[in-house]
A and B are shown apart, each in its own frame.
Chain A
Amino acid sequence: MPFSTQSHSGGEQYVLTASLDNARNLSSLLRAVHFQDHATCFATANGLRVTVEDAKCIQANAFIQAEIFQEFHVQEESVMFRINLAVLLDCLTIFGASSSPGTSTALRMCYRGYGYPLMLFLEEGGVVTVCRINTQEPEDLLDFNFCSTNVINKIILQSEGLREAFSELDMTSEVLQITMSPDKPYFRYKISLLKPSTKALALSCKVSIRTDNRGFLSLQYMIRNEDGQICFVEYYCCPNEEITDAEL
């Protein structure tokens, strides 16, 4: 065990304990959804989901499966809390955000339950950092009700292609129209809402773009971490307007 702080977590009842040999496998994924300072964490036996929302119009989810962690235990069916994501990211990258060869930050994460802080124990090169981040009451999350049976358009492509397209777009425009089929309906999306998703795009290797019959947009990014494992970040976005025949 790399932690001399082990005694902190021994004996006490934690509803969530997780450890990770390379904290960057978590921090890089969280950075891909960091466009608001607060996030809701939701843990089940399958892993951890971190959700960030804005303006009741956009939702981003980062999924870190249990297998990514070297150890992942959830004592209850599900554990949920809200946390300041900016603070969590500063703590996770306390030893530096960029990777230097041969060094990685080991992480142990513990949560005792409602009302308790999230505890992080980080270690790199024999130096140990202990963080206590206060948690908050989780808020109701948006349910976009995005259901695959209602999907009318779907494309899966290498991210490289979409990165190029986004780099050529004028991101100061107000709306972006996405056309995937010659058939109606066509929808536009506020660029200000889509902009944060480019953080995930930058990290990803593949992306799936889907729209449903209401024009809701789902962007799923496949991200390969430093250890070659695959994780997913997903963005849901409401349409701005449906384009009428008159505009075409």
Chain B
Amino acid sequence: MRFRAKIVDLACLNHFSRVINTIAKLAKTCTLRLTVNKLYFILSDRVANGGVSMWCELCQGNFFDEFQMEGVAADNNEIYLELMPDNLSRALKTAQSAKAVKIKLTNKYSPCLKVAVELPSLSRSSRIVTHDIPVKVIPRRLWSDFKEPSVPDFEVSIYLPLLKTMKSIVERMKNLSNCIVIEANLSGEMNLKIETDVVSVTTHFKDLGNPPWASEDECQSSARGRDLQSMAEARIDIKKLQQLLAGQQVNPTKALCNIISKRIVHFILLHEDVSLQYFIPALA
């Protein structure tokens, strides 16, 4: 089992740091899955996480100048590691003006991701800061716990408004209430609602548009033949939604959510080379 990678391009490095920062805001610990072409950050549905799950996918070629990996076996050419993304995010903080960043899987005393940051230096000798980030290697028999979640059989799928607008609304609502109701219909309308003893607030969005899911796609079965005006709604933990929005430093090229009434809200945020799926379960 071997893994080593290198980023030289500063724009790629900053982009990678942003992605890691986002992940760090969403999950305390997560699984990093490495394949030949892709990196995945996975948080699987566990009660301890409040049932939230995350699936973030990156093409290594868009970030890394060198990327070599050798999985546990030729027929299972993958590596699964458990790590605290915040450690990685902090290691990359020192790398903002780095000449190069090398990441390597090591096993000196215990398994670690070694992040070596080469900083610019005035003298001829280079300055290198290394961080050893402890990781746990996940054995092959547990890999099946980290399968890509299937798109649920939603009732309504809708494009999200500008995340900046949504973020500021959700932040204010979070000051007022612990939970938020998201409701949307197939006419491009979405409402965010909170209600407490003191105040009720509803924000109405319209003309958001509904994504055209391929009609042969079976996941659309609940949406098909649905009354266009009728709202699908789910009440979720407002902190979970706020965390998702707070982590978004760049507006994605596409952002949408799928609602399964009273069960789950499934967010999909697509950037050019990063896709993030986030599942927030409905509260009882």
Contacts and interface: CB of A to CB of B under 8 A. Distances in A.
A130 B173 CA distance: 12
B206 interface: yes
A128 B199 contact: no
B203 interface: yes
Interface in B108-128: none
Interface stretch (A54-62, A66-74, A91-99, A229-237): A91-99
Given A87-B199, A95-B169, A132-B199, A127 B176 contact: no
Nearest to B201: A131
B201 A127 contact: no
B37 to A, nearest CB: 40
A129 interface: yes
A133 B173 CA distance: 13
B203 A128 contact: yes
Contact of A127 (B173, B175, B203): B203
Most buried by B among A124, A129, A132: A129
Given A127-B165, A127-B205, A128-B204, A84 B198 contact: yes
Contacts of B168: 94-96
Say whether chain A's binding surface is mostly helix, strand, loop, or mixed.
Answer: mixed
Nearest to A94: B172
Interface residues of A toward B: which range?
20 to 34
Contact of A91 (B165, B172, B197): B172
A162 B203 CA distance: 41
B246 to A, nearest CB: 14
Nearest to B194: A131
A90 B199 CA distance: 11
A94 B199 contact: no
B161 interface: yes
A107 to B, nearest CB: 14
Interface string A71-111: 00000000000001011001101111000000000000000
A133 B199 CA distance: 4
B202 interface: yes
Contacts of B198: 84, 87, 133-134
Contacts of A134: 197-199
A129 B199 contact: no
Given A86-B175, A94-B169, A130 B205 contact: no
Given A86-B175, A129-B169, A94 B203 contact: yes
A179 to B, nearest CB: 41
B190 to A, nearest CB: 10
Nearest to A93: B172
B149 to A, nearest CB: 30
Interface in B84-143: none
Contacts of B161: 127
A129 B200 contact: no
B203 A87 contact: no
Interface of A: 84, 86-87, 90-91, 93-96, 124-134
22 contacts: A84-B199, A87-B198, A90-B172, A90-B175, A91-B172, A91-B199, A94-B168, A94-B169, A94-B173, A94-B201, A94-B203, A95-B168, A96-B165, A96-B168, A124-B165, A126-B207, A129-B203, A131-B199, A131-B202, A132-B199, A134-B197, A134-B199
Given A129-B203, A130-B202, 16 more contacts: A90-B172, A90-B173, A90-B176, A94-B173, A94-B201, A94-B203, A95-B168, A95-B169, A96-B168, A124-B165, A126-B207, A129-B169, A129-B201, A131-B200, A131-B201, A134-B198
